Structure 1
Amino acid sequence: MMATPSTLLPANEAARLQSLQSYAIVRSLQEDFFDELVVLLADLFRLPIAYIGLMEADQLSYKATYGFSRQLAQPRASTLCALVIKQNQVVVYYDLAATNPTSLDAFAIQNSLASEVCFYAGAPLRMPDNQVIGTLCVAGQQPRAFSPAEQQLLEAMAEVVSCAIAVRSSYCGDEHGIRWSKIRTHARDEVYALGALVRYLSARYGTSTPVPEEIVLPVARRLHDLRAILQEHE
């Protein structure tokens, strides 16, 4: 695995990696809650690719994926997620083919285009200790607008993922993970309900992009309920 250029590393990289390690989630088994969440993400934003990435020192590993297999880790420098970690904020590339690359993202843009990815949006997974351990991302093969409301919703969904990882860490070892299994099942059922809401609203308001606020706002409100379920145990 290639070494990551120092220019891509945030100032708090050592603390960030320590935080990631403390959650014991890298290379963990697949879990239905996270799998269903990325399915919901892809359906909501009408995009063919969605995933949860965990950023190690020199590679991006995957916790859950939609639109491609949960494959081997990718070199950090070859991923647009490295920019999300570096900047600690939502990063959007509306049209990678029309983007003027910089020294920070040129390799990642080239790699994305080689994989036929033209649109990318990623939000940081910011943990309770304020360290960013990974990303929640959507991508597609065509250029796409991405409204401020959509960006806020992606951030809100990233907050749910971060909260779930924190709760998982607290309870996964408790009685062989039985308590986390119950919490995860409850949260997964709420994700199913969110998926049903998205399908209903899409049938009513259409499937245009950017996703209209008539869909974004009700989903954001229901997403608050999902986060509340997890925060009860955080």
Structure 2
Amino acid sequence: MSGIELRELREGLVATVVGAGVDEFATNWLLKRISADPDALESVIRMTLNGSARLDALKSTGLMDGGPQPALDAIATMTAEALAVPSAAVSLLGGDEQFLAGYTAAPDAPERWRPLSMSICKYTVVSGIPFIVDNATTHPLLCDHPVVLSGEIGAYAGIPLFNADDQAIGTLCTFEQRPRLWTRGQIMVLQDMADVAAAKIFG
């Protein structure tokens, strides 16, 4: 895959994450490209997530050892309570896995670790912009996603977490089983809580 193709795929991803009406040409191009080659977007995702600077930033946090992080669990819980949703998480993405370093579930919940194939946060991290989805079942990137097809996630909102060098290592995200309309106020609260999470991780 050429550098131009990689750039176009990433631009299409950003347009699709931002939402309908922003850049319909880029979104439609991305969807046609994925239809012709389902692995094309995955190549962009893996190349971005495996970037050496990003992985160094992730490693420097010391959080991927999987140990308990009560402070991040508390941030996730406060986020869920503030938004009146059942689930929120501080999600960190390695090169081939996702770890929920902060989560509203029990500290030893097995679903804290997941392969990238089960991650929605990867789109947030790779695009580098908030990913707000009211109805995952109709979203072009998510309608065929395993966690959407299973009924686990019907709505999702995620904010990327950046270090001082602008490397996105993960997200603060919230989600629930049924579609819902995220309000402007809720997104602002989520952004504020993401700032708190980033300060805790990198401070």
TM over 0.5, yes or no? yes
Preserved CA contact (<8 Å) 2:50 2:94: no
The CA distance in 2 between the partners of 1:106 and 1:7, in whole Å, is 20
- The AA in structure 2 aligned to 1:47 is V
Preserved CA contact (<8 Å) 2:66 2:99: no
- The AA in structure 1 aligned to 2:52 is A
Structure 2 partner of 1:30 = 68
Structure 2 partner of 1:111 = 147
Match of 1:60 among 71, 82, 98: 98
Structure 2 partner of 1:44 = 82
Structure 2 partner of 1:164 = 200
The CA distance in 1 between the partners of 2:105 and 2:182, in whole Å, is 19
Preserved CA contact (<8 Å) 1:117 1:139: yes
The runs of at least 4 consecutive aligned structure 1 residues that moved more than 6 Å come to none
The CA distance in 1 between the partners of 2:157 and 2:50, in whole Å, is 23
CA-CA distance at 1:82 after TM superposition: 0.6
CA-CA distance at 1:67 after TM superposition: 4.1
Preserved CA contact (<8 Å) 2:49 2:94: no
Structure 2 partner of 1:176 = none
- The AA in structure 2 aligned to 1:90 is P
Structure 2 partner of 1:74 = 114
SS in 1 for 2:111: coil
- The AA in structure 2 aligned to 1:66 is T
The CA distance in 1 between the partners of 2:170 and 2:114, in whole Å, is 13
The CA distance in 1 between the partners of 2:199 and 2:48, in whole Å, is 22
Deviates more, 1:48-57 or 1:153-162: 153-162
- The AA in structure 1 aligned to 2:82 is L
CA-CA distance at 1:158 after TM superposition: 0.9
Structure 2 partner of 1:142 = 178
C-alpha RMSD of the superposition:
2.2
The CA distance in 1 between the partners of 2:182 and 2:170, in whole Å, is 21
Cα distance per residue 1:16-65 (max 9 Å; x no partner): 11110112111342232211111111111111111111100011011121
The CA distance in 1 between the partners of 2:48 and 2:87, in whole Å, is 26
Gaps of 5+ in 2: 1-40
- Alignment of structure 1 residues 1-234 onto 2, 5 Å: 5-8=42-45, 9-10=47-48, 13-67=51-105, 69=109, 71-99=111-139, 101-102=140-141, 105=142, 109-167=145-203
Cα distance per residue 1:95-149 (max 9 Å; x no partner): 11222x24xx565x33333142101111111111211111111001111111223
- The AA in structure 2 aligned to 1:41 is T
